[in-house]
Structures are given as structure tokens and as C-alpha cells.
Amino acid sequence: MFVKIEGTGSFLPERVVDNFEIATKVDTSDEWIQTRTGVKTRHIAGEKDTVASMATEAARRAVRDAGISPEEIDMIIVSTVSAEQTLPCVACEVQKALDARSASAFDVNSACSGFITGYQIAAGQMKAGLIRTALVIGSECLSENVDWTDRGTCILFGDGAGATILRADCRPEEIQIPAVLHADGSKGHVLTCSVGHGKDKVPFADYYQMDGREIFKFAVKKVPEVIGEILEKSGQEVDEIDYFILHQANRRIIESIAKRLHQDESKFPMNIMDNGNISSACIPMLLDQLRREGRLEPGTKLVIAGFGAGLTWGGFYLEW
């Protein structure tokens, strides 16, 4: 008995920026970006798109898809690293917009592991018998914090939101949560971004600073390990898994993980080509895409895993 995803929704800003447009800003090429990252296009937020507005639109679609009323939602969790404001939190903005009166609401920040963190918090609350229905969202406006003169980072990121409605239709004590979360703060320096006030009260804003090679090495080592942990907890064999839904950081990272697990790449759906890396929004958006394509049937076996800044990583097993 798992905490099921009963509804999904996503939102992408209208404006599409392709690699050719990026190449007019920095010294790069469509061929380099596609070969090294897999990214062809990304969506960039317009003037009216905010982390909260994108989260709300994705949430509305997930609520509609689940066929529930917003009043049934007990908890709203928004994962984001790019909210325009510190207070109020994005989840409260979503609660207000949906008029989800019964819901508690808070944000989490574990970067690209944020959606899997949100799922595990909500699932734990359900197992404790404290809530029945949760709305878990990943929403990001990464373009705001990208240095558009840095070819090492601006090629990768995009904006958007993905939302899921979670529910367990069984008694709390029957819920299984085959899940793991990890962190290694000692490696936090490999991906940083600071916005705020320093000790002298001077506002500062530093764009994403990334050691791409270190993150690459971290991901291809830790993600197969964590998938092994999840399989052990769930009692599944790797060959039994229908899809591995991974954070979309770089196509080569995903291909390398597929190879290490001796699994066909077709079991690793991707949206990085069209959307780039949207941090915590990637995974719920990918789930929404697969659901709309009819690729998620009751009983479909999924391993969902994320990794990112912090450093953080983890995942969970789920039967659709």
C-alpha cells in the first residue's frame, strides 16, 4: 500500500529560448549544448510568471486531474529555490489562490531533490495518520538567478512548475514508504547561489556558481547507489522496474546511470531536451507528461530519484 499520485499538472511559460538564441549571448553552439547536455530548448518566465503563479496553475491542473475539491487538501508543500520573496512562503500563496482552506502550507528547499523530499514528508504525515490528501509542487524561476554571460550555467536551466495530488486509500498503518534521503553539506560549495543581506546590511545577489564536473561525478556515483537502496527497501529487482524517473540535470548523466544499472535507456524518460533543468519541477512535470501520454497504468513500477545542490539526493519506489 503506497501513497499514490492521484493527479498531476504542470505549467510552462510561453516563451521558448532555443540554443541558437543562447549562442547569440555567449560563446557556444547548438551542437555543443545538445551533445554535452541534451538540452535543445528551455522555457523562460514572462513578466507575469512567478514561482507562485506557476505553482498555482500547475496545482489547479493537478486538482482537476485528481477530481477533488481544493477543500479536501490537508497539506500543501512547495519545493523551490527561486521564490521571488522570502515571506509569505509560496505554499501559502498557492493555498490562498486555490482557496484550500483546510490545508497547512510550507516550502522546502533541498534544490533538485525538493520534490522527492516533499513526497516523503507528505507520505510520513499520512502514515502517522495526520493527513489524508496532500498537494506537492515543484516550482522554479531559475532564469532570474542565471548569469546570462556564463556559458557554463546559462545553457542548462529553465522555468516551470509541476504539481501532484497524493493520497493513500488504506489505513495509515498499512502505508509503506520505501524511500531514502541523503545530504552531504561538506560539498555544498559545488553549487551555490546567494540572495539576501550581508552582515553590513548591504543587499547582495550572486548568480548560480557551479562546478559542473564535480556535480556530474557526484550524480553518476550516488544516484545508482540510492536506486540500489530503494530497490532493497521495496523488495524489487532492478529489471522489474518499468521506469526510472530521474532529475533532469544532463542527458549524459541519465545515460551513464542507465548504463551502470544495465538498463535500457527507454526506461529513463526525459524532458530535458525541451525544458532544460528546472530543478525541483523536473520530476513532477515528467510524471505529468507520462500520465498524459498514457504511459502510467495501474501497477506501473516506478523508481523516482533526485539529486542536487546541498548536496542532497534520494528517492522512493512507487506503484502507480
Closer residue to ligand ACO in complex, CB, 37/271: 37
Burial of residue 23 (number of CB atoms within 10 Å: 0-12, 13-18, 19+) = middle
Number of chain positions touching ligand ACO (CB under 6 A): 21
Exposure string of 44-79, with b = 16+ CB inside 10 Å and e = fewer, is bbeeebbbbbbbbbbbbbbbebbebebebbbbbbbb
Instruction: For residue 189, indicate whether it is catalytic.
Output: no
Q: Report residue 248 as a C-alpha cell.
A: 533532469
**Residue of 250, 271, 275, 312 that binds ligand ACO (CB under 6 A):** 250
286 touches ligand ACO by CB under 6 A = no
Instruction: For residue 277, indicate whether it is catalytic.
Output: yes
213 touches ligand ACO by CB under 6 A = yes
Q: Report residue 28 as a C-alpha cell.
A: 557556444
Q: What is the DSSP letter of 309?
A: T
Instruction: For residue 182, indicate whether it is catalytic.
Output: no
67-72 LR contacts (CB < 8 Å, sep 24+): 67/7, 68/6, 68/7, 68/133, 68/165, 70/98, 70/99, 70/100, 70/101, 70/103, 71/99, 71/100, 71/101, 71/102, 72/102, 72/132, 72/133
280 touches ligand ACO by CB under 6 A = no
What is the rounded distance in angstroms from the CA atom of residue 282 to the CA atom of residue 289?
11
Instruction: Show contacts with ligand ACO in window 107-126 (CB under 6 A).
Output: 111-112
Closer residue to ligand ACO in complex, CB, 41/300: 41
Query: Which of these ranges, 173-181, 192-200, 211-219, 266-274, lies near ligand ACO under the rule CB under 6 A?
Result: 211-219
Query: Which of these ranges, 46-54, 68-76, 151-159, 166-174, lies near ligand ACO under the rule CB under 6 A?
Result: 151-159
Looking up cell 499538472 gives: 9
**Residues 159-198: x where in contact with ligand ACO by CB under 6 A, - otherwise, as a string:** --------------------------------x-------
**Residue of 8, 133, 277, 312 that binds ligand ACO (CB under 6 A):** 277
Closer residue to ligand ACO in complex, CB, 11/307: 307
Sheet architecture: strand order including 179-183: 179-183, 312-319, 301-308, 243-246
Site residues for ligand ACO per CB under 6 A: 28, 32, 36-37, 111-112, 151-152, 155, 191, 210, 212-213, 215-216, 249-250, 277, 279, 308-309
**Residues with a known catalytic role:** 112, 247, 277
